[in-house]
Structure 1
Amino acid sequence: MITLHGNLYTVGCGEQGELERVPEMFTNRGGRLGLSRLLTPQVVKFKGKVQLVDAFYFTFVVSKEGHVYGLAYHQLGTQSIKTCFFPVKLTCFKNSEGQVYSLGRSEYGRLGLGQGAEETAVPTALAGIELASGVCCGASVSFAVTRDGAVYAWGMGTNLQPGTGEEDDGWAPVKMTGKQLESRTVLAASSGGQHTVLLAKSKQES
């Protein structure tokens, strides 16, 4: 949760480092402070203020100053598979505004790096996508919204989330098309376990 003042609060399970404010030895039951340490929202300490959070078994945080932090699990771009229990400032995204990167597991094409791509701990730039204004990911699919209002999708096709009309996995980013998008500009995308939502507006609107 992000407050209006840009402070980040977390609550819930912390066994994979998701809370980013609890040492590993206390992530199961909260230590001497009990479960309230995990189940009561508390602030995560950062230098600066937070403007964006994206999370699943891991979390990326973008500060208002433009710095990217990796939190939790093994998909953080730190070239280490050690779980992080406190925020780590990432330098691999320096001077890459608008470029889309992927890292982590490769099954079902979720990296968008082409068929046969292997999992990677190093952020790798995706080809074929214009400069992006935002990205989001579900369990096994990912999306990039471009500055021009297009949206690209890649990953598992079983639940038709990539929007191609087929259940084949998408191993590389494909621009989403269709009657509903012909006259609309996509503003944002959000993806869950088996569904995806697009926020769009008419191209005729100012």
Structure 2
Amino acid sequence: MGGMSQPLLEIDGASVMRGGALAAGGTLALDNLSFVVRSGEHVALLGPNGSGKTTLIGLLTRREWPLRRADGRPPVRLLGRELGDVFELRRQMGIISPDDDRGFIAERCTALEAVLSGFFAARGIWRRQVSAEQEAAARAALERLGVADLAARRTDAMRTGQLRRGLIARALVHQPPLLLLDEPTNHL
């Protein structure tokens, strides 16, 4: 095999604490986790409920924060960079999670607006300028997922499976280098 490409994702000794300090009864949800994912690789995390799969997704999307390493090195790097600006980070990912389902129901946007928001790494499009190319890509993504007829329907009026397919379209629309899928087939 030729020269190794730069890792897409590097996790080096990441730990996440839940419920306060260990001395106060807290627990390590992730303890010294390390692995590397390179471009083109597919990784599946399997395990029982409570084993840390969703915590890992949260760590990568900055919904969870790692403990500081003693040597000061960042425990998580994406595309060779330390995770910093959350919006820039999320532009590099397509994310599917049950948290997003709930958030988009509360947002009460249309399916098309939800998919378009994938270009902006945010929920909703607010006052952002949407190009004709972005709208065409969003409509094509809804079509690929079989929910083009729902483009004008509000997310709070969709069945769970319809919403999930719309949010999968959102994760794919901007063609991110990394997809993070937490229970992606739930409700389909």
Give TM-score, length-normalised by structure 1: 0.27
Give TM-score, length-normalised by structure 2: 0.29
Question: RCO higher in 1 or 2 (8 Å CA, sep ≥ 6)?
Answer: 2
More helix by share: 2
More strand by share: 1
